[in-house]
Amino acid sequence: MKKNTVLFVCVVAGLLAVSQAWCAEAKIVVVDMAKVMKAYSETKSAEALLEKQIEEFEAEQKDMLAERDRVRKEFESARESAKDKALSDKERENKMDVAEQKLNVLRESEMKIRERMSQRQKEINDQKVRMQRRIVGKLREVIGKYAAEKGYAMILDSTGMSISGVESVVYSRENMDITEDVLKVVNIGAPEKVEKPEVPEKKK
């Protein structure tokens, strides 16, 4: 029993030694991808574009709500007029018909607002997903080339999360973190200031 225990300890120690030697030879490093994504120049451009689209969305929403409120006031005015006892039955009936027409217009307006707002929200969300995929693809390409130049066998995301909700990289030495070096590489040639891009008007 004692002999087996000693053998097991030796095997584990050997595996750890081999693992450490392999890691040192393989040059595994880590990078804070959340920090890189945030500081990446194209991320800032994408965020500026999304911000511009959101502003347009909010302006469009404001206009549509203002039109709805105008129709609502017309309906309420027509409804109150139909209650005026000073009018003849025929006149009140005509006023009631007008009020009903305004109510139908109001309902159509509210339905159009819901549909349009849902559509615009989906457009913005889809645009955000496309931009994120494009940015991640470009970052992977740039970081991949940098890794090849430096001879890194593997670069791990120090901010990545596993399926269980635990950080993928539980521990790494400080000298394994190449985040600052990667930031310099990915932003080579990037403009210092990001201007808000012009967004083509949507066809109504």
Q: Is 172 part of a structural domain of the chain?
A: yes
Q: Is 204 part of a structural domain of the chain?
A: no
Q: Is 191 part of a structural domain of the chain?
A: no
More confident site: 139 or 19: 139
Q: Is 2 part of a structural domain of the chain?
A: no
Q: What is the CATH number of the domain that holds 93?
A: 3.30.910.20
Number of domains in the chain: 1
DSSP collapsed to 3 states, the chain: CHHHHHHHHHHHHHHHHHHHHHHHHHCEEEECHHHHHHHCHHHHHHHHHHHHHHHHHHHHHHHHHHHHHHHHHHHHHHHHHCCCCCCCHHHHHHHHHHHHHHHHHHHHHHHHHHHHHHHHHHHHHHHHHHHHHHHHHHHHHHHHHHHHHHCCCEEEECCCECCCCCECCCCCCHHHECHHHHHHHHCCCCCCCCCCCCCCCCCC
pLDDT confidence bin for 115, thresholds 50/70/90: very high
Instruction: Mean pLDDT check: name the lowest of 16-30, 34-48, 104-118.
Output: 16-30
- pTM metric for this prediction: 0.62
- Whether the per-residue pLDDT at 89 is higher than 90: the answer is no
Q: Is 13 part of a structural domain of the chain?
A: no
Domain range enclosing 63: 22-186
For 7-39, write each residue's pLDDT tens digit.
444 444 444 444 454 445 568 888 888 888 888
